[in-house]
């Protein structure tokens, strides 16, 4: 019986799965996670665009993209539009790529900006990282979509490698992959929760998991053949199934002798592309005893031919493993030279017929007729069979064994090579009269070897020695020999311009080279960088360009500016989102080591003022007394050298900001300090993340300055009129020059930074805040035509810098973080009016005069801090109107997950409440209630902006907790089994500031819990709070042995909690911050009759939480057990044991708790300061005569 509906096409089968598991995780890559419903929406949107290009039945849609989520979406969209996807390899040089596109003639090609430049033809493009455009000039009337049971139409076209001649487009109809996947599901099925890494044969793998509810994890191109990176990905992504070539597996095993410890989740490993040696099979079974190893034999023209479990079918005495039993034995034929079937055990040429065959070679009727011949063994009209070119025999055990290639074709790393063609080319182009080419070695060492007879006319005794232009000495060559050996040729014959691949190198040997170079140089050198410049010269230069380190992977980060406003939030975000130790440079005139306590005090004072201090901060923070204006930062040569050796990333956010001081006064800290930071980075190879400003550019035109905007040096004195902007411009030039010389650098240009979007905490020296506050105090606001205000919240800027510091793949050097669309100040004062701060409008000169009289004069005003700011420098109208706008179009794709808060009444309410709390305003803001009514002051508590996950949120205590946290301004992820109930809960929430997402989750399924946490981290941010409310309760008599209910109790109440803890606690501990709250019960303190197993499960909860609390004491994690008494929840109606219900479960009429009572107690515990631990909360009604418990 088929596992899937084999009468539907691939697109229809995917839609069926979307409907079955809409909230299961479907697709992941490095930056995105999509559920089935979200993926379906993406596919539908792109398919609609493709239809505008005339895509329909048998139309081809080219896909030229890196291996990522976008690639999967593009393929599915091509199918949804009724067409077929055309695989365009990134490795194609421009001319072969143009040949393939001309041959296939796709209706449109899906690509990105980085790859679009490779396309020389005039084919229409859909560039995914550019705004969508209409398909002008293309299909006006859309053709009808093909029927979903039309399995003979094209699904995809993939071109052969061309190792046996010119590449051929292998055209496969839907029928072939549908039946192929069904066969593989019958061998090894998939289900929701399985995680499949799509690796070597990417296109072959990306659709199959989506037909069974599993999760696709795309393996980036640079990790596919890098054993270290690949194993890291398989481990970190908890992969349960993947595919490798035998050569790749051999390389992985040689690099990771204890691979089982790294791949504990791997249950299935498919091997394909080459024969599997018995030696490799033995090593693999030993290394991965828990994984099922499946040896699969296939061809692009036939899909799967044979497959079997290696553990069941290899002979230790044989050299190679069989490829398994034929999957369609009726259509698998071994024939002799006359085309007759041979007996079992006799070798012959392998032919394959049946319904899995490709349709044709695209536009190659002669090649198609030669490879796909009439099938004399099948009476079906038009039946064909494919000539594989392999020699095979059927063993007595029924297993198929591949014994060689017809015409001695050699299989090398998944490619078929005709040795005769290689021999002919050698004789033709070299001084050789005879030549024989064979394969030598196994695994990574397998290569082609040519045995030659020299031409008689050539000089047989001639010795050829080639040296490069620098005249390498023998000593130098000996030094280079261990490195050059990876080119697999003698060192004396190597020239700087020789190409690694032309000399016999391949992807796996390149991975080996990258690994060894990385180890020798002490930092990561990627395969992709070596492949970009595959000559010796290029490889020798690559390490100097490979030192870029992401902040999340750094063990030590140097941060400057931490006693300032932005720097404090950068420190907070570094501690929250990384595990690095942070060295904070604190300025002292004459820095010495004894200044460290003073540095701690200054940082603590600043963070306390901003609401960021917690005692655990100093566990990962080291104080470095220094001075940016001094050589070597004021450090001794030894200390400077030691610091350079320790630091992998430098975030340079320190600067002296003063719009009055001239260049000379600011040159020392702003220019000299940057120079010394770059000197430090060059000495140790650290990556520099430099925080710049919009002040390096003059007031901008309407659309703002793009990221590559840069003033020429001659323009600076005329267009940058203040010393601060001039020094930052010079500092930027130093950073860019260091980048040109090979130092990894990035520049982050910020605009005007305002207060925190959740807490409102503000920079006390902010001019714009002072103008707004003083306008409110006066009751009059300036009315200046063209005065636009930028108010970019500091938390957005700090999070964006940290996130962008992880985008090591981005070639872009400069990122823009300012607001590209500053708000008109008239709108700001209109919003303030809604909050209870009415102002009359005055012209600027009138407003200044009124302010001077009422607030700015010695006699007038009350001496507020904002008064002092304006007294020290009242701006001019030209200054107000001369805003520098930063266009961020090129930055947005790289920081898309960091959402910019809107400047609206919600944000202004946050700011004005903070200003009131600081005493700058006479009264708090008002906010109109959502359902009318009077305006009421709104207070935002300490939980605002935090991220929480609530399980069991569909009803009862969980739903009440969700509502309470939403009211507190918390970003909440709601989880439960019942999706409709979750949606109903979300509709009822009063969400004023936070964001709420819902995820269907069964806590007894560990993979679903992990998916929930990944979604929360991706959509909301790092999780600060876990509230575990999922639970069940059954009244049962022990004598009645209600096994099913007992097991369910243990699964949900015990295992569910453990799944939640394992998915949250490690990350919280790494950030030294987090709060675990779990619903226990008063039955976890005392056993109640009729609730024996339930009480036992709650005793388990108490023991688990107590142990967690004791083991993590002092590490920033708080753990709270909430023990409700009798509470009105759905749990009271779950029991089926009539005797137990009658005896112990009938309500007595006594007062019981509402879920909101329990939720309020949880909020109380969460709101306490970091130094206060609420370990247990026992909450009961005043009268507790009821028998049943919660």
pLDDT at 526: 64
Phi, psi at residue 389, to the nearest 5°? 80, 0
More confident residue, 301 or 548: 301
| DSSP-based three-state secondary structure for 542 | helix
Q: Is residue 215 part of a domain?
A: no
Residues 624, 628, 634, 637, CA torsion sign: positive
Mark whether 680 and 663 lie in a shared domain.
yes
Q: Is the pLDDT of residue 407 over 70?
A: no
**Residue 945 pLDDT > 70, yes or no?**
yes
Residue 814 and residue 860 share a domain: no
Residues 748 and 781 in one domain: no
Q: Which two tokens stand for residue 649?
A: 């990333």
The pLDDT value recorded for residue 989 is: 76
What is the average per-residue pLDDT within 484-492? 43
Got the DSSP string for 399-414?
A: -EEEEEEGGG-EEETT
Mean pLDDT of the chain: 84
Distance CA 70, CA 73 (A): 5
Residue 940, pLDDT score: 52
Count of C-beta atoms within a 10 Å radius of residue 301:
24
Cα–Cα dist 817/798, whole Å:
10
Quick check: is 1094 catalytic?
Answer: yes
Q: Which two tokens stand for residue 407?
A: 């015409």
Please give the Cα distance from 1037 to 1115 (Å, whole number).
43
Tell me the C-alpha distance between 850 and 841, whole Å: 12
**What are the CA-CA distances from residue 406 to residues 326, 351, 438, 449, 1091 (Å)?**
20, 12, 14, 19, 73
User: Kind of pairing, strands 154-159 and 996-1000?
Assistant: unpaired
Range of the domain at 710: 556-752+791-819
Q: Per mean pLDDT, which range of 10-14, 67-71, 129-133, 1010-1014 is the poorest?
A: 129-133
**149 burial via Cβ count (<10 Å: 0-12, 13-18, 19+):** exposed
Q: Report the C-alpha gap between 1154 and 1126 in whole angstroms.
A: 9
Q: Is the pLDDT of residue 469 over 50?
A: no
Instruction: Name 556's bridge partners.
Output: 581
- Regarding predicted confidence, which is higher, 144 or 522? 144
Structure token digits, residue 265: 């989740």
Residues 1092 and 1155 in one domain: yes
Instruction: Taking residues 854-874, report their average pLDDT.
Output: 73
Which pLDDT does position 973 carry in this prediction?
93
Residue 970 placed within a domain: yes
pLDDT reported for residue 486: 45
Q: How far from the centroid of its chain's Cα atoms is residue 835's Cα?
A: 40
- Residues 617 and 621: their CA atoms lie apart, in Å, by 6
Separation of alpha carbons 262 and 1113, rounded Å: 29
- In a shared domain, residues 965 and 1017: yes
Is 433 inside a domain boundary?
no
pLDDT at 1071: 81
Length of the chain equals 1190
CATH number assigned to the domain comprising residue 696: 3.40.50.720
Structure tokens at 601: 């005090």
Are 540 and 665 in the same domain?
A: no
* 623 in a structural domain: yes
pLDDT in tens, 439-460: 766 555 567 777 676 655 544 4
pLDDT above 50: residue 484: no
Q: How many CA atoms lie within 13 A of 391 on its CB side?
A: 14
Q: pLDDT at position 545, please?
A: 54
pLDDT tens digits for 1131-1143? 555 666 777 777 7
The pLDDT of 252-272, averaged and rounded, is 89
Q: Are residues 665 and 782 in the same domain?
A: no
Rounded Cα distance between 110 and 1010, Å, is: 32
Which H or E element spans position 474? Answer: helix 474-484
Residues 6+ apart with CB under 8 A from 697: 705, 709, 711, 884, 886
CA separation for the pair 678, 743 (Å, rounded): 9
- Is 508's pLDDT higher than 80? no
Same domain, yes or no, for 984 and 1045? yes
Q: Which stretches within 225-378 are classed as H helix?
A: 227-236, 246-255, 259-262, 278-287, 365-371
pLDDT tens-place string over residues 706-725: 999 999 999 999 899 899 99
pLDDT attached to residue 155 = 96
pLDDT average, residue stretch 307-323: 85
Residues 1044 and 1110 in one domain: yes
pLDDT at residue number 860? 44
Predicted local confidence at residue 1190, as pLDDT: 44
The CATH number for 144's domain is 3.40.50.12780
Q: Which tens digits make up the pLDDT trace of 616-635? A: 788 899 999 999 999 999 99
Tell me the pLDDT tens digit for each residue of 756-798: 988 888 888 889 999 999 999 999 999 999 899 899 999 999 9
Least confident of 106-115, 430-439, 618-627: 430-439
- Which of 228-242, 494-508, 592-606 is predicted with the least confidence, judged by mean pLDDT? 494-508
Task: Tell me how far CA of residue 1126 lies from CA of 458, 1081, 1146, in angstroms.
Answer: 100, 9, 12
Domain assignment present for residue 478? The answer is yes
Among 500-514, 584-598, 1052-1066, which is the least confidently predicted range?
Answer: 500-514
3-state secondary structure of 793: strand
User: Is the model's pLDDT at 151 over the cut of 70?
Assistant: yes
pLDDT of residue 1180: 84
Q: Indicate the SS3 state at residue 631.
A: helix
DSSP, res 1062: H
Same domain assignment for residues 612 and 625:
yes
Helix residue ranges, H only, 626-707: 637-646, 663-666, 673-684
Task: Provide the pLDDT confidence category of residue 603 given band limits of 50, 70 and 90.
Answer: very high
d(CA 201, CA 281): 20
pLDDT-above-70 percentage for the chain: 85
CA distances from 463 to 459, 472, 474 (A): 9, 18, 16
Catalytic position from the list 1094, 1144, 1164, 1188: 1094
Q: Domain total for the chain?
A: 5
CA 757 to CA 199: how far, in whole Å? 41
Choice among 316-320, 1122-1126, 1137-1141 with the minimum mean pLDDT: 1137-1141
Give the tens place of pLDDT for each residue, 1162-1185.
999 998 887 788 999 998 887 544
What CATH code is carried by the domain that includes residue 507?
Answer: 1.10.1200.10
Tell me what the mean pLDDT of segment 395-415 comes to: 74
Residue at a domain's end among 545, 576, 601: 545
Alpha-carbon distance values, 217 to 27, 233, 385 (Å): 6, 9, 35
**Is-contact 514 543, C-beta < 8 A?**
no
- Say which residue, 819 or 1188, is predicted with more confidence: 819
Q: Is 415 exposed, middle or buried (0-12, 13-18, 19+ CB in 10 A)?
A: middle
Residue 943 binned pLDDT confidence (cut-offs 50, 70, 90):
confident
Structural domain includes residue 598:
yes
Query: For a pLDDT cut of 90, what percent of the chain falls above it?
Result: 48
1167/1049 same-domain check: yes
Per-residue pLDDT for 138 more than 70?
Answer: no
Assess whether 497 and 523 both reside in one domain. Answer: yes
Task: Tell me, yes or no, whether 465 lies in a domain.
Answer: no
| Beta-carbon count within 10 A of 891 CB | 25
**485: pLDDT strictly greater than 80:** no
> Which of the listed residues 149, 174, 199 is the one where a domain comes to its end?
174
Q: For residue 1148, what pLDDT is reported?
A: 55
Domain boundary among 545, 564, 593: 545
C-alpha pair distances (Å), 569 with each of 576, 599, 611, 801: 10, 17, 10, 11
Confidence of residue 477 (pLDDT cuts 50, 70, 90): very low
Give the 3-state secondary structure percentages of the chain, helix then strand then coil, rounded to 5.
40, 20, 40
Measured distance CA(500)–CA(487) in Å, rounded: 6
Q: What is the mean pLDDT of residues 251-262?
A: 85
Distance of CA 758 to the CA centre of its chain: 25
**Range scoring the smallest mean pLDDT among 188-197, 471-480, 1010-1019:** 471-480
Inside any domain, residue 1081: yes
């Amino acid at each position: 019986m088929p596992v899937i509906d084999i009468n539907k096409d691939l697109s229809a089968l995917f839609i069926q799965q979307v409907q079955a598991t809409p909230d299961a995780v479907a697709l992941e890559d490095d930056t995105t996670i999509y559920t089935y419903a979200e993926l379906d929406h993406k596919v539908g949107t792109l398919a609609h665009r493709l239809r505008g290009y005339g895509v329909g039945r048998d139309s081809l849609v080219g896909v030229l993209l890196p291996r990522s989520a976008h690639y999967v979406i593009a393929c599915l969209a091509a199918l949804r539009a009724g067409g077929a996807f055309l695989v365009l390899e990134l490795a194609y040089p421009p001319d072969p790529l143009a040949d393939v596109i001309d041959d296939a003639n796709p209706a449109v090609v899906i690509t990105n900006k980085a790859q679009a430049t490779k396309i020389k033809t005039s084919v229409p493009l859909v560039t995914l990282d550019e705004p969508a455009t209409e398909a002008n000039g293309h299909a006006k009337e859309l053709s009808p979509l093909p029927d979903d049971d039309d399995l003979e139409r094209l699904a995809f076209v993939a071109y052969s490698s061309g190792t046996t001649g010119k590449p051929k487009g292998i055209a496969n109809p839907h029928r072939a992959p549908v039946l192929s996947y069904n066969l593989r599901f019958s061998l090894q099925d998939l289900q929701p929760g399985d995680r499949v890494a799509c690796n070597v044969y990417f296109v072959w793998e990306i659709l199959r998991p989506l037909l069974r509810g599993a999760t696709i994890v795309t393996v980036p191109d640079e990790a596919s053949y890098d054993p270290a990176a690949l194993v890291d990905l398989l481990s970190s992504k908890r992969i349960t199934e993947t595919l490798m070539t035998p050569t790749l597996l051999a390389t992985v095993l040689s690099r990771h002798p204890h691979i089982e410890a790294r791949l504990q989740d791997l249950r299935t490993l498919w091997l394909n592309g080459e024969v599997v040696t018995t030696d490799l099979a033995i090593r693999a079974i030993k290394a991965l005893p828990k994984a099922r190893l499946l040896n699969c034999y296939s061809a692009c023209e036939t899909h799967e031919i044979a497959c079997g479990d290696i553990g069941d079918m290899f002979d230790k005495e044989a050299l190679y493993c069989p490829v398994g039993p034929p999957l369609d034995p009726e259509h698998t034929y071994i024939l002799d030279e006359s085309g007759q079937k041979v007996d079992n055990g006799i070798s012959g040429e392998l032919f394959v017929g049946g319904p899995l065959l490709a349709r044709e070679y695209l536009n190659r009727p002669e090649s198609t007729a030669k490879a796909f011949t009439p099938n004399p063994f099948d009476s079906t009209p038009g039946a064909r069979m494919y000539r594989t070119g392999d020699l095979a025999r059927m063993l007595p055990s029924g297993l198929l064994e591949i014994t060689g290639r017809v015409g001695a074709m050699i299989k090398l790393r998944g490619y078929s090579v005709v040795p005769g063609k290689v021999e002919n080319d050698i004789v033709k182009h070299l001084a050789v009269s005879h030549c024989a080419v064979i394969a030598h070695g196994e695994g990574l060492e397998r290569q082609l070897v040519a045995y030659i007879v020299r031409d008689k006319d050539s000089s047989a005794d001639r010795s050829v020695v080639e040296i490069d232009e620098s005249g390498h000495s023998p000593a130098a060559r000996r030094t280079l020999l261990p490195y050059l050996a990876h080119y697999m040729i003698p060192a004396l014959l190597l020239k700087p311009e020789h190409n690694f691949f032309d000399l016999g190198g391949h992807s796996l040997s390149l991975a080996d080279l990258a690994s060894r170079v990385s180890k020798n140089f002490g930092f990561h050198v990627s395969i992709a960088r070596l492949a970009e410049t595959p000559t010796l010269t290029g490889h020798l230069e690559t390490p100097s360009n490979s030192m870029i380190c992401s902040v999340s992977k750094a063990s030590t980060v140097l941060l400057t500016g931490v006693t300032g406003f932005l720097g404090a939030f950068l420190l907070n975000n570094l501690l929250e989102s990384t595990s690095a130790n942070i060295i904070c440079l604190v300025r002292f005139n004459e820095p010495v080591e004894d200044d460290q306590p003073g540095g701690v005090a200054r940082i603590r004072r600043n963070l306390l003022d901003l609401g960021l201090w917690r005692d655990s901060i100093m566990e990962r923070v080291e104080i470095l007394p220094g001075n940016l204006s001094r050589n070597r930062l004021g450090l001794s040569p030894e200390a400077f050298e030691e610091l350079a050796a320790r630091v992998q990333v430098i975030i340079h956010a320190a600067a002296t900001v003063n719009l009055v001081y001239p260049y000379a006064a600011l040159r020392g800290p702003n220019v000299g300090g940057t120079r010394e930071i770059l000197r430090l980075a060059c000495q140790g190879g650290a990556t520099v993340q430099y925080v710049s400003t919009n002040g390096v550019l003059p007031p901008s035109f309407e659309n703002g300055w793009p990221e590559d905007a840069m003033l020429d040096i001659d323009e600076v004195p005329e267009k940058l009129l203040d010393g601060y902007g001039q020094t930052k411009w010079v500092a930027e030039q130093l950073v860019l020059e260091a980048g040109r010389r090979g130092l990894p650098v990035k520049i982050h240009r910020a605009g005007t930074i305002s207060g925190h979007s959740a807490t409102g905490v503000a920079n006390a020296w902010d001019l714009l805040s002072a103008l707004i506050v003083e306008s409110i105090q006066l009751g009059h606001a300036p009315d200046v035509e063209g005065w636009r205000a930028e108010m970019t919240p500091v938390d957005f800027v700090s999070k964006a810098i940290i996130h962008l510091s992880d985008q090591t793949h981005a070639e872009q050097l400069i990122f823009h973080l300012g607001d590209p669309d500053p708000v008109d100040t008239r709108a700001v004062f209109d919003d303030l009016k809604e909050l209870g701060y009415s102002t009359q409008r005055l012209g600027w000169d009138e407003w200044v005069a009124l302010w001077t009289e009422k607030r700015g004069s010695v006699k007038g005003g009350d001496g507020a801090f904002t008064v002092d700011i304006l007294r020290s420098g009242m701006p001019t109208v030209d200054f107000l109107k001369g805003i520098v706008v930063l266009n961020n179009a090129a930055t947005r794709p790289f920081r898309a997950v960091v959402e910019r808060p809107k400047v609206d009444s919600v944000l202004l309410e946050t700011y004005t409440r903070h200003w009131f709390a600081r005493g700058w305003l006479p009264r708090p803001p008002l906010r109109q209630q959502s359902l009318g009514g009077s305006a009421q002051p709104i207070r935002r508590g300490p939980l605002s902006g935090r991220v929480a996950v609530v399980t069991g949120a569909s009803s009862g205590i969980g739903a009440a907790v969700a509502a309470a946290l939403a009211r507190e301004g918390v970003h909440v992820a709601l989880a439960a089994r019942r999706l409709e109930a979750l949606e109903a809960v979300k509709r009822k929430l009063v969400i004023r500031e936070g964001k709420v997402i819902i995820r269907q989750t069964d806590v007894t399924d560990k993979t679903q819990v992990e998916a929930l946490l990944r979604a929360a981290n991706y959509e909301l941010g790092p999780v600060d709070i876990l509230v575990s409310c999922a639970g069940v309760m059954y009244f049962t008599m022990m004598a009645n042995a209600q096994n099913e209910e007992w097991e369910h109790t243990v699964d949900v109440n015990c295992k569910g909690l453990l799944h939640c803890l394992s998915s949250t606690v490690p990350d919280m501990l790494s950030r030294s911050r987090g709060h675990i709250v779990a619903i226990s019960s008063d039955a976890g303190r005392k056993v109640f009759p009729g609730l024996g197993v339930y009480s036992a499960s709650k005793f388990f909860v108490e023991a688990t939480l107590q142990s967690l609390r004791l083991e993590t004491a002092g590490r920033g994690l708080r753990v709270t057990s909430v023990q409700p008494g009798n509470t009105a929840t759905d749990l009271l109606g779950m029991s089926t044991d009539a005797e137990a219900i009658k005896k112990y479960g009938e309500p007595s009429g006594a007062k019981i708790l509402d879920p909101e009572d329990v939720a309020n107690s949880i909020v109380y515990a969460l709101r306490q300061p970091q130094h206060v631990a609420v370990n247990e909360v026992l909450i009961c009604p005043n009268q507790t005569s009821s028998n049943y418990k919660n």
